[in-house]
Structure 1
Amino acid sequence: MNIILLATAIAQAAAPAPSPVEQARAIVGDAPTTTQTLVLSDVPKPTGPSRVLFNGRDLSGWQPWLGYPDPSVTYRDKPGATAIGRSRSTAGDFAVRAIDGKLALWVKGETWGALVHDADLRDYHLRLEYRWGDQRWAPRAGQPPNNGLLYHTHGTPGAVFGTWQPSVEFEIMTGSTGMAVAVGRDVRIRTAAALDPSLISPPVRYRMGGKPVEIVNGSLIWNVENARDAERPAGQWNVLDLYVLGDRAVHVVNGVPVMLVEGLATVGAGGVRSPLTHGHVQLQSEGAETWFRSVTVEPIDRLPTVVAR
């Protein structure tokens, strides 16, 4: 190696790694996110009868799965533990209990996992209500409460970090409800984003007309933040509407569209890409006590229109 090449190699080795903002800027460009108000219109009418996924009495139709006894090992390459799965009773993790004068689906949140519904769904509008409970659990006791509505669920229980099935996530987290996340390394999600340096990582937020990006678990862009925070204050019920048609979806929080995704897909051996157009739904357990009620789904043949104002 000549002296010039050696000096260059030394300089490159000594140079600090680019920050998440610098890396994101290389992908989405330099223009930062500005306030954008999205409005839902031309909402599709159901093409068939509505179906109740939570009957308001018991957990009929829902299958539990639990990850590791210590959730802090969940994201390790070698967790050094075996997932609980369905090897013990989950009555203390998921149950139907009374709150605000009605029975609701209760998720304790201490042990991470999910309830997975039996129905294989496609082309639908799903609506549910949720609110946070009071309990927070390690390792996220001091963090914003976190949960999720996972859809187009497929594959094997526990295939993702021993805890969840591969899917697309409609994030439920204070400040980030509606965020899109790829759950599983085989899942791909396309959306549009702009730089938002106020976010930690990745510093990108959904923006209609923004730079096309692909969300890939394990990459810099493993999620894209919602267009805006539309969650109600703690202690109040929130309404989520998920509109799904084939490999496209719209995430709506309390009537406000906050995320549009498309090109939902899985990538198999040899990089072969297959559209992801149907699957089950999961309600996560991820560190925060959460209540769910009024979970219904109805068939649709088109998505609502979303406009920016």
Structure 2
Amino acid sequence: MNMILLTAALAQAAPSPVEQARAIVGDPPATPQTLVLTDVPKPTGPMRALFNGRDLSGWQPWLGYPDPVVTYRDKPGATPIGRARSTAGDFAVKSIDGKPAMWVKGETWGALVHDADLRDYHLRLEFRWGDKRWAPRADQPPNNGLLYHTHGAPGTVFGTWQPSVEFEIMSGSTGMAVAVGRDVRIRTTAALDPSLISPPVRYRMGGKPVEIVNGSLVWNVENARDAERPAGQWNVLDLYVLGDRAVHVVNGVPVMVVEGLATVGDGGVRTPLTHGHVQLQSEGAETWFRSVTVEPIDRLPMVVAR
């Protein structure tokens, strides 16, 4: 068999992402779910503002590569910027819509990492998209992220982020769960959604159990549905975290429930991931954040399907 025929035969034999996902989660759900948040916990202590409305006190910047296009390469052939230069043109506090907000330019990929090591909390913030988009995502949906249970050294993941669980902030996908770092593990339930490019799996209460692993077919699970408001409007994100479990809520709509948050070390030893810092990403889109608060809780809200 010549090389052209062999290549064609191998391409035909290789299962598609949809076929691979079907083997994991089965066939698509017959109807979409409407999820409702109930029995919201009362705080067990005072609320704390993570943004003081004046400056970036408490937030540590970190920048990845000067050219973000190399970010996901195993051997990028470049050195991360880190904190080697001023980041005043990347992160700042400015006024928008009559109030102060944290501004993320988005051109150079990286993050703002808060000093606090948090556990068992309800975090709330407001975000909205700015107008600017940057290569290599200039023509793609605007993208950012709220990363929690952050641990490890700055730049551990692709020279740009610290290992974390991600509450995705991306137009159409806000609330998606992503494993940031090869050591992070996330458990949830999902169903096949062939309309998604890859991986074609979407959160579904009562769906098939899956584990999200960076570098595998299921490196993320899409939100239950898109609950983001139109561009130019502010969105409210609520993150409820208790130990190794969490609930992602977008504008009052629960869109993701995760559990079994963990890290896996040498020899496959699994350690529950129950606390850490939070990061606000810079990933190709101008983004505004404000009203970032956290309060302690001792239980998670309930999520029911109707």
TM over 0.5: yes
Whether the 8 Å CA contact 1:33–1:205 is kept in 2: the answer is no
Deviation at 1:34, TM superposition (A): 2.7
Gaps of 5+ in 2: none
Measured in 2, the distance between the counterparts of 1:60 and 1:4 equals 59
Deviation at 1:30, TM superposition (A): 1.7
SS of match in other structure, 1:131: strand
Whether the 8 Å CA contact 1:33–1:194 is kept in 2: the answer is no
Deviation at 1:77, TM superposition (A): 1.0
| Pairing partner for 1:156 from 153, 157, 163 | 153
Whether the 8 Å CA contact 1:179–1:226 is kept in 2: the answer is yes
Sequence identity percentage? 90
SS of match in other structure, 1:33: coil
* Cα deviation 1:75-99 (Å, max 9, x = unaligned): 0111010000000000000000010
Distance 1:209 1:88, change over 3 A: same
SS of match in other structure, 2:11: helix
Deviation at 1:121, TM superposition (A): 0.1
Deviation at 1:146, TM superposition (A): 0.1
Measured in 2, the distance between the counterparts of 1:198 and 1:122 equals 36
Q: Give the TM-score of the pair, scaled to structure 1.
A: 0.95
Whether the 8 Å CA contact 1:44–1:300 is kept in 2: the answer is yes
Measured in 2, the distance between the counterparts of 1:73 and 1:88 equals 19
SS of match in other structure, 2:188: strand
Measured in 2, the distance between the counterparts of 1:7 and 1:72 equals 29
Whether the 8 Å CA contact 1:206–1:224 is kept in 2: the answer is yes
Aligned residue in 2 for 1:72: 69
The number of residue pairs the alignment matches comes to 305
SS of match in other structure, 1:64: strand
Deviation at 1:271, TM superposition (A): 0.3
Aligned residue in 2 for 1:90: 87
* Cα deviation 1:209-244 (Å, max 9, x = unaligned): 000000000000000000000000000000000000
* Cα deviation 1:109-132 (Å, max 9, x = unaligned): 000000000000000000000000
SS of match in other structure, 1:181: strand
Deviation at 1:3, TM superposition (A): 20
Deviation at 1:31, TM superposition (A): 3.2
Distance 1:33 1:127, change over 3 A: farther
Distance 1:8 1:258, change over 3 A: closer
Aligned residue in 2 for 1:254: 251
Deviation at 1:69, TM superposition (A): 0.2
Runs of 4+ in 1 over 4 A off after TM superposition: 1-12
Measured in 1, the distance between the counterparts of 2:51 and 2:172 equals 26
Distance 1:242 1:6, change over 3 A: closer
| Pairing partner for 2:53 from 45, 50, 56 | 56
| Pairing partner for 2:236 from 236, 239, 255 | 239
Distance 1:2 1:99, change over 3 A: closer
Whether the 8 Å CA contact 1:177–1:229 is kept in 2: the answer is yes
* Cα deviation 1:243-302 (Å, max 9, x = unaligned): 000000000000000000000000001000000000000000000000000000000000
Measured in 1, the distance between the counterparts of 2:91 and 2:133 equals 15
Measured in 2, the distance between the counterparts of 1:255 and 1:29 equals 29
Measured in 2, the distance between the counterparts of 1:194 and 1:200 equals 14
Distance 1:124 1:114, change over 3 A: same
